[in-house]
Amino acid sequence: MSSKPRDPLLAAAKVIIVLAQIVMIFGIVMLGIGIGALFTVGRAEVAQEIAAASAPAVTVWFIVAAMLVGAVLLFLGLRFLKELLGIINSVGEGDPFHPDNAGRLSRMGWIMVIAQVAVMPLAGIAHWLAPFLDKADRHMNIDGGLDGGSILLILILFILARVFREGARMRDELEGTV
């Protein structure tokens, strides 16, 4: 087997994806530490800020819920990038229409669907918290509506999954006739 020339685009994509994965893992860890801090060392300070903003005591649970949803979204992003890295690796190996890529694209589409659904409660929490945050001179802006770009990406991913599935089938059929 001859060695394939290195593709700088694929190499750059791999580096960017690995760096993004590291950032997402860091974010998940920091959110976990933040949740722990809310219930331990920062408990009194958070309780004071909640009281100063005239927010109900249950507010701390909304903050924890928002942090948990954020961690879920980061985890979904991590999974999305893992699937994308699998596609990039197969393209680098010279086999873009590998049957696994259709599954990867389909999983990426479902990850995006789940992310779109998961961001909605986060937006609701942010909307509920907004007046209390304003009183505490803190601000949060989370848009949780349906995002046209994300919906378009979901459609593209599911269509590409079908294209790759059909391409792999046609390639296998062709190899069987030769």
In tens, the pLDDT along 30-54 reads 999 999 999 898 888 888 888 888 8
Residue 144 lies in a domain: yes
Whole-number pLDDT of residue 51: 85
Q: Is 85 helix (H, G, I), strand (E, B) or coil?
A: helix
Residue 142 lies in a domain: yes
Q: How many domains are there within the chain?
A: 1
Whole-number pLDDT of residue 145: 67
The number of angstroms, rounded, from the C-alpha of 33 to the middle of its chain's C-alpha atoms is 19
Residue 69 lies in a domain: yes
Whole-number pLDDT of residue 6: 80
Residue 3 lies in a domain: no
Residues contacting 27, CB < 8 A, separation 6+: 70, 71, 74
112 close to 152: Cβ distance less than 8 angstroms: no
pTM of the model: 0.85
Residue 50 lies in a domain: yes
Residue 112 lies in a domain: yes
pLDDT digits (tens, 9 = 90+) for 99-139: 899 999 999 999 999 999 999 888 888 888 888 877 777 76
Residue 2 lies in a domain: no
Domain that holds residue 37: 8-177
